[in-house]
Amino acid sequence: AIVIHKHSDQNDGGNAKDEEDPYKCDRCGKVMSNFKNYKFHMKSHTVEKTFKCETCGKMFRESWDLNKHLVIHSAEKPFKCDVCGNGFNRRYNLDLHVRVHTGEKPYKCSTCGKSFSACVNMKKHMRIHTGEKPYTCNECGKEFADSSAFKNHSRVTHTGEKPYKCTVCDKAFSHKTDLKGHMRMHTGENLIQNHLNQINKYFSYYDAHFEI
14-36 per-position pLDDT tens digit: 333 345 667 888 777 778 778 88
d(CA 148, CA 127): 14
The whole-number average pLDDT for the span 174-191 is 76
pLDDT at 107: 92
User: Which residue spans within the chain are E strands per DSSP?
Assistant: 8-10, 16-18, 51-52, 59-60, 79-80, 87-88, 107-108, 115-116, 135-136, 143-144, 164-165, 172-173
The whole-number average pLDDT for the span 70-78 is 77
The CATH class of the 163-212 domain is alpha beta
Model confidence pLDDT, tens digit, residues 87-124: 888 888 899 999 999 999 999 999 999 999 998 899 88
pLDDT above 60: residue 67: yes
Residues 6+ apart with CB under 8 A from 129: 109, 111, 112
Single-letter amino acid code for the residue at 155? R
pLDDT at 10: 37
Output the average pLDDT for the chain: 78
Confidence of residue 147 (pLDDT cuts 50, 70, 90): confident
The whole-number average pLDDT for the span 135-161 is 86
Write the DSSP symbol of residue 117.
S
pLDDT at 190: 53
Q: Which helix (H) or strand (E) holds 123?
A: helix 119-130
pLDDT above 60: residue 5: no
pLDDT cut 70: percent of the chain above it: 78
Cβ atoms 3, 42 nearer than 8 A? no
Least confident of 67-71, 111-115, 124-128, 199-203: 199-203
CATH number attached to the domain at 20-73: 3.30.160.60
